[in-house]
Structure 1
Amino acid sequence: MSDTALLPQGTAPIKKQYLLANTPAPIPDDDAAEGSTSHFIGKAGDANNVDDARNESSGPRRKKWSKEERKNKRGANKGRRFQKVRDELELCWKVAVGKPCEFGSECRNTHDIKAYLAAKPKDIRFPASDTLSSSPPFVNNSGQDDPMSGDDPASIDWSVKCPVYETIGECKHGLKCRFLGGHARKENGEIILTADDTKKATTAIAETEVNFVGPDTLKLIRSKKFPHPKADAYLKELEAQNENGKGKDSQTTTTELVVIAEPEPDAADHQISAQTTVTPAEKTEELSQVDTPDVPTRFTEKKRLDWKGKTYLAPLTTVGNLPFRRLCVDYGADITCGEMGLANSFLQGSKEEWSLVRRHPSERIFGVQLAGNKPSLLVPAAETIGTICEGNLDFVDINCGCPIDLVYKQGSGSALLDAANKLGKIIVGMNRALGDVPVTVKLRTGVKEGRNTAHKLMPRLGPEWGAAALTLHGRTRQQRYTKLADWDYIQQCVQAAREREAEEDLPPVPIFGGGDVYSSQDYWEKLDSSGVDGIMIGRGALIKPWIFTEIKEHREWDISSRERLDLLRKYAEYGLNHFGSDTPGVNTTRRYLCEAMSFQYRYVPIGLLEVLPGRLNDRPPPFQGRDELETLLASPDSRDWVKVSELFLGPAPESWTFTPKHKSNAYGAEESQG
């Protein structure tokens, strides 16, 4: 009998020679990992202002929290703040790139290049893939030192290479770049920036991110001057029909509402004809799912989504940023979706929220996910996104599955599962506002444990309201991650949706399932047994981004520690290209690299397991790897994650801190708060 056989059920079956102790490691808190996000803002614009965000919302909220309730809700996740780490002496960015500054001596930043370079931290060496090793110090930089003359600035290392310059042939951060020696030369005592025009020309299309929203556009959005005529017309129709269907003194709780919309002159030629039942929020979840004699809304001119056989990376809070999506695309992800964005924040012109729509050209099928609680937010937000991202957006996804308390209490996310008629109006309105861009829906099996409702809702989403694709996570909102996903119920929901489509003689829409898929074997077995067209991968991709390679090649990959380190190197490279190679960009990249490692450390190499494949929810007892690097990459201590980041991004500044989402040791100032 193996040592792991004596451990509690759910313990990873690690071979005896790699075990360090017979006690399971703490269970990572995936509820905390899915917790509050910096993009969730309240009225005051504070990501952590929970009271403001709740009190300004509408939806299933009842009363203010008491002081004791607020105290109980307070936690590390809600208090996570990540300040920007800047240079000790700030150089004017125009001077940094060799341009004149219109403010001259009145500029708030220095124009003294010599003083700036004297105070600037030393250049960072970004290692090449072939310098990585599974033995300490894990990066071999020997032979790269070039002598510097005595009058060279101490911050410049002429032997470094800038990963941004190496990719696109120029670096927009100029003198502020932390890899300055890679794209500068000394001429007549001055530092001259260089550019590779040939590389710039050849990489312009392949490496330039799209859907960039500039300050002028954000200003229009903030001032409510950005037009969304289709949304305005649709909302006026809803308002007029509400007034016609329910008088001022009426006490009725249910109103029959017929939506008959004439096409806009500049809109697609579809006619919307739908009859839905409007149910107040106070009604029970059973009433919200009652079938009504709705007339199907058919969007014949919409792009049809051909997703069968494609792999889908789930929209992921915080970690699902553009660099991580690029990484997953490299390993075989076909469909990617940006992090969940809040419709209200988009309409307020939040720079942070609009950064979520950025797309890299390598993302072949890309969508944006929206969360909101009513048509008056989601429909204009969808039209605004569709207009700004025209030609660079393949679908817009409605989040009907987010279980986060703050989102749910606003009536968004999984709260929409119990507001089917409101959801129907949202889908119809977004379809109209987006023109030929399809609308998809991501949902959970229901809200309360033991009370699944998705089998009633899913058959309506496509035939009645025009949803172009559906994704069902096999848990209720209440279950969060405490139980295994119910794939038998996913199969039941797929059958219900297909039967409705057959009755209406409608072409089937893609249906994806999700939950607990962690290996190629998991993927193909669940795909065959459930009848879904594909499976959305979330936590499995966070822990092992190479899962998409495993799926496509029908194998379990015993990836080496050096290959995993190279994966992190590539992530850091993508981060520098996206966030920037100056001091703030380097440390933003460091933060997200550590966020990624807060999941990837949980990977147990399959070469260490007695039974294959590994399972997502198995927790390993303390173990050592097959080499020192494999042991380091399995460390749950975030201080070790920072050490790994320093291999690529140089020493972490003293002022830099990292508070992980999981309940692990924090790095930096938080260490002394115990």
Structure 2
Amino acid sequence: MTSRAASGTAPIKAEYWISAEPRAVVDDDSAENATNHVNGGRMDDRDRDDGRSGPPPGKRQRMSKEEKKKRSGANKGRRFGKMRDEVELCWKVAVGNVCDFGDGCRFTHNITEYLEQKPRDLFFPQNCDSLSIPGISSEEFMEEEEPATVPATVPGLPSSINLSTRCPIFEEKGECRHGFKCRYLGAHVKKTGSGLEPVKDDKKVAERQVEASEYPLPITEAYLKELQVSEGIIKEKSSNTFTESELVDDESEVQKDTPDVPMRFSEKRRLNWKGLTYLAPLTTVGNLPFRQLCVSFGADITCGEMGLSTSFLQGSKEEWSLVRRHPSERTFGVQLAGSKPGMLASTAETMAREFGPQGVDFVDVNCGCPIDLVVRSGSGSALLDTPGKLSKILIGMNKALGVIPLTVKLRTGVKEGRNTAHKLMPRLASGTGIGAMTLHGRTRQQRYTKLADWDYIRECVDAVRAREAEEDLRPIPIFGGGDCFSSQSYWESVERGGVDGVMIGRGALIKPWIFTEIKEHREWDISARERLELLRKYAEFGLNHFGSDTAGLNTTRRYLCEAMSFTHRYIPIGLLEVLPGKLNDRPPAFRGRDDLETLLASTDSRDWVRISEMFLGKVPDGWSFTPKHKSNSYGSEEGQG
């Protein structure tokens, strides 16, 4: 008896079946198209690239400035409730400093009062070996009590403090920026004659300060004047500051395919990426903790979440937070989206001055985003249909970045059946000075509905290599993308597509250990306990990034559950009749080889939340969770601000 009930169904061995009916299909297209779940999935201010808020013309809704501000920023549209302490302690006092406002501060300065109402310290496990997981079903697991912590045993300490706990932030940095507000306070506090005070590990402490600056943009100004002269449009500028109206392209010019501006980029830093693994930039889920997790499994190249050029220039702290780099990220890039040569060049020049060549290894231009409103603004996949404009964008950014290389991510075309990348890519390689290209093997219209076309990727690679040989150009790395889900599929795709490597997106979200599989040329039958350890590591990385106070802890919880909305889709290869597993195969309802493996495959978001409680403590009242795959929700968001 075979377990493959129908084409496209994962070939799970019959003994692990619960039902032959396939599970409901997770809609990756819907999740990608609606990163905001307010107003029926329409995008908020952050998703617009025309400097305006709300839906496109003809569908605009009135809202106050306060509401616009509230909704702006990375993924604000889902409106998760922010959890706070019942009594809020002043941040200055929390870290042992003196508050500038004194008695006029709106937060309490009474540490004793704060600690009396503060929930007891959580206990973060060093590894999953210390966790006791009984052989129970997922339903029974949901009824388990919160894992017990070691009680405080020192007389005179508040009952909320647990000296046996450990704080991930303190262990990594030698101090905890949350002080008394930390939910793992016992790891970095001591009793003195006058009360309690935070402690530091002076050997680990390193001051890091990033100051926001406004820069003159002489390279961008010179390039824009060069474009204006070449088009017969001469405008005098009295300063180095450009307003948005000055950087908007004339509508007729957008459609005009003008010749490329000749430029030499011989002093650019070269990208030697052949043989390296590349984690794709991923909106929402591709945050720093997730990238750090993938690096721990062998990802060589990482890229921050897509950011909008307009938001960067407006000084959005949410947008600038997307480009934070962890020290473990050996080769790190920033991805930008936009439609105006001036805006993108200005952003590139600002980043070059802010980070320098040591802070960022490359900047990537998104020419592949298929989201409707991004395309309508002229960004993302829309740039595939305006090659002259795209060339101007790349040349301007390349000049503005100095020695920092510029890369570009593309799709095969816009409309299904009308591939254009084989014409566009040689042109970009020849005339823009880019350092690398990535080609996703689908058109914008196809989204994830068809398999990636690796034969066409090979055609495009061959066209670029022919142009490079014809013009005696140095070869640049070319990566492909689409449907890579195993070591076997990775190396087959490299061979079939003639590429230097494969950019991995959904495959890494479902199984972050795919990078280990690729490097070791094997399929890893990872155990349930090893997968649980992966989630523990993610939680630890999240606390270091988002914070160990109440708000940071529950932000970590939210992103951990978001990660599980993908990792639960993994089908253990020990359950399969045919290897390797395929990304688009739909599993029937199945059970694992043990109860933990069954639990980790649960499609019920309540199980994901309970797993988070193993590392982050009980979920507070009023907490809710809505992932990108909106059907898997926990709790209610009504009334949440």
- TM-score w.r.t. length of structure 1: 0.84
Check conservation: 2:23, 2:586, Cα contact below 8 A: yes
Q: Displacement of 1:298 after TM fit?
A: 2.3
Q: Displacement of 1:136 after TM fit?
A: 5.3
Aligned partner letter, 2:309:
A
Residues 147, 213 of structure 1: alpha-carbon distance in 2 compared, 3 angstrom cutoff: closer
> Is 1:354 the equivalent of 2:343?
no
> Is 1:429 the equivalent of 2:418?
no
Question: Which among 281, 296, 303 is matched to residue 337 of structure 1?
Answer: 303
Check conservation: 1:135, 1:627, Cα contact below 8 A: no
Question: Which among 180, 186, 194 is matched to residue 191 of structure 2?
Answer: 186
Give the 3-state SS of the residue equivalent to 2:92 in structure 1: helix
Q: Displacement of 1:376 after TM fit?
A: 1.6
Q: Deviations over 1:384-425 (max 9, x none)?
A: 111111121100000000011121111101110001111100
Q: Displacement of 1:140 after TM fit?
A: 12
Aligned partner letter, 1:531:
G
Give the 3-state SS of the residue equivalent to 1:506 in structure 2: coil
Residues 660, 144 of structure 1: alpha-carbon distance in 2 compared, 3 angstrom cutoff: closer
> Is 1:242 the equivalent of 2:231?
yes
Structure 1 gap ranges (5+): 41-45, 68-76, 247-277
| Separation in 2, partners of 1:182, 1:166 | 9
Give the 3-state SS of the residue equivalent to 1:354 in structure 2: helix
| Separation in 2, partners of 1:52, 1:12 | 36
| Separation in 2, partners of 1:607, 1:530 | 29
Q: Deviations over 1:78-130 (max 9, x none)?
A: 95222321111111111001111111011111101111111212211101213
Give the 3-state SS of the residue equivalent to 1:617 in structure 2: coil
Give the 3-state SS of the residue equivalent to 1:23 in structure 2: strand
Give the 3-state SS of the residue equivalent to 2:78 in structure 1: coil
Of the structure 1 ranges 150-159 and 166-175, higher mean CA displacement relative to structure 2 is found in 150-159
Check conservation: 2:51, 2:310, Cα contact below 8 A: no
Check conservation: 1:97, 1:172, Cα contact below 8 A: yes
| Separation in 1, partners of 2:344, 2:49 | 18
Check conservation: 2:49, 2:379, Cα contact below 8 A: no
Q: In the alignment, which residue of structure 2 is the partner of 1:168?
A: 173
> Is 1:406 the equivalent of 2:373?
yes
| Separation in 2, partners of 1:339, 1:603 | 23
Aligned partner letter, 2:374:
V
| Separation in 1, partners of 2:185, 2:174 | 13
Residues 460, 245 of structure 1: alpha-carbon distance in 2 compared, 3 angstrom cutoff: farther
> Is 1:589 the equivalent of 2:556?
yes
Question: Which among 118, 121, 126 is matched to residue 120 of structure 1?
Answer: 118
Q: In the alignment, which residue of structure 1 is the partner of 2:98?
A: 100
> Is 1:317 the equivalent of 2:283?
yes
| Separation in 2, partners of 1:572, 1:51 | 27
Q: Deviations over 1:259-313 (max 9, x none)?
A: xxxxxxxxxxxxxxxxxxx994785xxx85xxx8757532000001100000000
| Separation in 2, partners of 1:83, 1:16 | 43
Of the structure 1 ranges 188-197 and 299-308, higher mean CA displacement relative to structure 2 is found in 188-197
Check conservation: 2:260, 2:388, Cα contact below 8 A: no
Check conservation: 2:538, 2:560, Cα contact below 8 A: yes
Q: In the alignment, which residue of structure 2 is the partner of 1:33?
A: 31
Give the 3-state SS of the residue equivalent to 1:662 in structure 2: coil
> Is 1:526 the equivalent of 2:471?
no
Structure 2 gap ranges (5+): 62-74, 236-249
Residues 133, 540 of structure 1: alpha-carbon distance in 2 compared, 3 angstrom cutoff: farther
Of the structure 1 ranges 142-151 and 309-318, higher mean CA displacement relative to structure 2 is found in 142-151
Residues 38, 581 of structure 1: alpha-carbon distance in 2 compared, 3 angstrom cutoff: farther
Give the 3-state SS of the residue equivalent to 1:20 in structure 2: strand
Residues 136, 232 of structure 1: alpha-carbon distance in 2 compared, 3 angstrom cutoff: farther
Question: Which among 155, 162, 181 is matched to residue 160 of structure 2?
Answer: 155
Check conservation: 1:132, 1:562, Cα contact below 8 A: no
Q: Displacement of 1:583 after TM fit?
A: 0.8
Aligned partner letter, 1:381:
T
> Is 1:327 the equivalent of 2:321?
no
> Is 1:552 the equivalent of 2:550?
no
| Separation in 2, partners of 1:417, 1:136 | 53
Aligned partner letter, 2:130:
T
| Separation in 2, partners of 1:427, 1:104 | 52
Q: Displacement of 1:131 after TM fit?
A: 0.9
> Counterparts in 2 of 1:225-624, with a 5 A limit?
225-244=214-233, 280=252, 283=255, 296-390=262-356, 391-624=358-591
Q: In the alignment, which residue of structure 2 is the partner of 1:132?
A: 131
Q: Displacement of 1:559 after TM fit?
A: 0.3
Check conservation: 1:341, 1:371, Cα contact below 8 A: yes
Q: Displacement of 1:168 after TM fit?
A: 2.1
Residues 526, 140 of structure 1: alpha-carbon distance in 2 compared, 3 angstrom cutoff: farther
Aligned partner letter, 2:619:
A
Question: Which among 576, 599, 603 is matched to residue 636 of structure 1?
Answer: 603
Aligned partner letter, 1:348:
Q
Aligned partner letter, 1:166:
E
Aligned partner letter, 1:64:
G
Q: Displacement of 1:55 after TM fit?
A: 7.1
Aligned partner letter, 2:26:
P
Alpha-carbon RMSD: 3.0
> Is 1:177 the equivalent of 2:182?
yes
Aligned partner letter, 1:483:
K
Q: Displacement of 1:184 after TM fit?
A: 1.1
Aligned partner letter, 2:438:
T
Aligned partner letter, 2:269:
K
Give the 3-state SS of the residue equivalent to 2:322 in structure 1: helix
Of the structure 1 ranges 123-132 and 360-369, higher mean CA displacement relative to structure 2 is found in 123-132
Q: Displacement of 1:150 after TM fit?
A: 6.4
Aligned partner letter, 1:8:
A
Residues 84, 339 of structure 1: alpha-carbon distance in 2 compared, 3 angstrom cutoff: same
Give the 3-state SS of the residue equivalent to 1:463 in structure 2: helix
| Separation in 1, partners of 2:530, 2:462 | 41
Residues 62, 558 of structure 1: alpha-carbon distance in 2 compared, 3 angstrom cutoff: closer
Question: Which among 58, 64, 67 is matched to residue 64 of structure 1?
Answer: 58
Residues 48, 411 of structure 1: alpha-carbon distance in 2 compared, 3 angstrom cutoff: closer
| Separation in 2, partners of 1:226, 1:245 | 24
Number of equivalent positions: 603
Check conservation: 1:472, 1:513, Cα contact below 8 A: yes
Check conservation: 1:131, 1:141, Cα contact below 8 A: no
Give the 3-state SS of the residue equivalent to 1:333 in structure 2: coil
Aligned partner letter, 2:397:
M
| Separation in 1, partners of 2:311, 2:159 | 44
Q: In the alignment, which residue of structure 1 is the partner of 2:64?
A: none
Q: Displacement of 1:192 after TM fit?
A: 2.2
Q: Deviations over 1:353-390 (max 9, x none)?
A: 00011101110100000000111211101111111111
Check conservation: 1:338, 1:367, Cα contact below 8 A: yes
Of the structure 1 ranges 363-372 and 622-631, higher mean CA displacement relative to structure 2 is found in 622-631
Q: Displacement of 1:322 after TM fit?
A: 0.7
Q: Displacement of 1:627 after TM fit?
A: 1.1
Give the 3-state SS of the residue equivalent to 1:198 in structure 2: coil
Aligned partner letter, 2:573:
I
Check conservation: 1:445, 1:454, Cα contact below 8 A: yes
Check conservation: 2:487, 2:523, Cα contact below 8 A: yes
- TM-score w.r.t. length of structure 2: 0.88
Check conservation: 1:161, 1:179, Cα contact below 8 A: yes
Residues 604, 14 of structure 1: alpha-carbon distance in 2 compared, 3 angstrom cutoff: same
| Separation in 1, partners of 2:630, 2:342 | 38
Aligned partner letter, 1:235:
L
